[in-house]
A and B are shown apart, each in its own frame.
Chain A
């Protein structure tokens, strides 16, 4: 089997889908193991090295990555943002309700500049959306802006 680097972007330890069945096969017998049990075995991840990779994959279950490869590479170089992104949906859902959230990486190689944007898609009227953006700033972003600097931002866009 030949391994190629093209589009090599996924993680080796994806969390299994709920309800799937895994099989542990021995010479004597095949035992059906509910994958929830495997999840139990795997979590919480205590490897410091692999944790960021797993978290980046977990985030992909909540956020829609616009440019997955670039976002993953960026997050692995800015590991402190991973935990910020893990907490963010809780605040976003509180303010905007259960809306789709995207991640989009904007880059300018000439300026050596990268900024990750959380794009909150909502169907709110423009005025209301702006108010909610401000509310989100007050309850969440204002507390972390000093830590994330100009590496992370958020904006609301019409659905």
Chain B
């Protein structure tokens, strides 16, 4: 059982399924999917069907603008939770306020089931359960070690003050990986520090997890994400997040 916070830093939880590619991509899948979920997720939005890609040309590396199949989002009024579809990809996202794992997990499983009915995927290529936390501090200077147990270490002979950073590690967990990313993001206003702690637990072995085993995998992934979160923050951070000291519901 994890800890509960009155002011949690969690800005988004998401589960991303990448499937074994099916060629060619069936462009009717988003429409068929929407037909089945539109009562729960009536709003829809299409993302631009262009992408920037780096390509090697005779003149060196060039930025190319290439057409890609659009990503489609279906969401509830209010914008969360939401479901995203792209070729061989399904993502279920939950923005603030995050209800609880017990509420979020069924949304993931229900939409995966609908996707299976509609797209008939061969199997999982990759699964990721990801929790994105953002620590906002109205300060000009922050000692990272005050808030995080995971941080980049700079040799003492170098200046210790930085204004941006990015740290990413991939920790093997059996055949799977825990990806921890800590870094700054562009501030919404001057003199604001925004630090993301992005925790992603992923399965990257194609078809290792059967569809019927996904529920248990999700519980395991959630447990590891939660453990990683608590391991990465300090008591001072917990004070900031205002830990609630009751044992009733202890989801992050």
Contact = CB atoms under 8 A, between A and B. Distances in A.
Interface in A1-37: 1-15, 17-19, 24, 26
Contact of B191 (A5, A11, A87): A5
B186 A46 contact: no
A61 B164 contact: no
Contacts of B165: 1, 3, 12
A9 B164 contact: yes
Contact of B166 (A9, A12, A18, A77): A12
Given A2-B141, A4-B141, A46 B95 contact: no
Given A1-B154, A3-B165, A18-B56, A44 B185 contact: no
A60 to B, nearest CB: 10
A8 B184 contact: yes
Interface string B187-203: 11111110110100000
A36 to B, nearest CB: 9
Contacts of A77: 188
A113 interface: no
- Is the interface on chain A under 10, 10 to 19, 20 to 34, or 35 or more residues? 35 or more
Contacts of B89: 44, 46
A11 B188 contact: no
Interface of A: 1-15, 17-19, 24, 26, 41, 44, 46-50, 53, 56, 58, 61-62, 69, 72-73, 76-77, 83, 86-87, 89-90, 93
A76 B188 contact: yes
Interface in B187-241: 187-193, 195-196, 198, 204
A24 B47 CA distance: 33
Contacts of A53: 185-186
Given A2-B143, A48-B12, A53-B186, 7 more contacts: A1-B145, A1-B161, A3-B162, A26-B172, A49-B132, A58-B52, A90-B50
B19 to A, nearest CB: 14
7 contacts: A1-B154, A5-B187, A5-B191, A8-B187, A12-B164, A12-B181, A86-B50
Given A49-B132, A83-B48, A5 B84 contact: no
A112 to B, nearest CB: 15
- Is the interface on chain B under 10, 10 to 19, 20 to 34, or 35 or more residues? 35 or more
Contacts of A8: 163-164, 184, 186-187, 193
Given A18-B61, A53-B185, A47 B142 contact: no
Contacts of B141: 2-5
B188 to A, nearest CB: 6
Sort A-B residue pairs by CB-CB distance and give the 6 closest, nearest first.
A12-B183, A46-B91, A12-B166, A49-B12, A10-B164, A72-B186
A99 B56 CA distance: 19
A102 to B, nearest CB: 15
A126 B130 CA distance: 52
A46 B93 contact: yes
B196 A50 contact: yes
B71 interface: yes
Given A1-B145, A4-B161, A49-B11, A87 B50 contact: yes
B192 A5 contact: yes
